[in-house]
Amino acid sequence: MKTKFAVPALFIASAMFVASPAFAELTREQVKAEFAEAVRTGDIMSNKSGQKLNERFPDRYAAKQVQSTLTREQVKAELAEALRTGNYVMAGEESGLCKDVHPYMHTVQ
């Protein structure tokens, strides 16, 4: 009785596996290149713990670059607003926000 349903169940499971997006059509060279990149960046799992190598040994791998979501114009506008309102950090003997250190210089209109 149980074997009667085993074959169709295996067939359906294998069809779902092959049709899934995780089973992408990559060439052998693409897989090798992705693996080499993962080894280079430490983006593979360590066999000793549940961490990736770059998480376990961060000093051995370069930090991942974060891509900004702001445009150049947006950054310039934020800088102009900060300069206008004094909402930027001053360095030196009197460190802190410029508007707090020198409140008389920045009056928002």
> Each residue of 15-69: pLDDT tens digit?
665 555 655 688 899 999 999 999 898 888 888 788 888 888 889 988 877 888 9
Q: In the chain, what are the domain boundaries?
A: 2-60, 72-101
- Model confidence at 76, in pLDDT bands (50, 70, 90)? very high
Residues in the chain: 109
Question: What is each CA distance from 51 to 40, 46, 61, 73, 101, in whole angstroms?
Answer: 16, 6, 14, 39, 45
| Cα–Cα distance, 44 to 89 (Å, whole number) | 39
3-state SS of 8-68?
HHHHHHHHHHHHCCCCCCCCHHHHHHHHHHHHHHCCCECCCCCCEHHHHCHHHCCCCCCCC
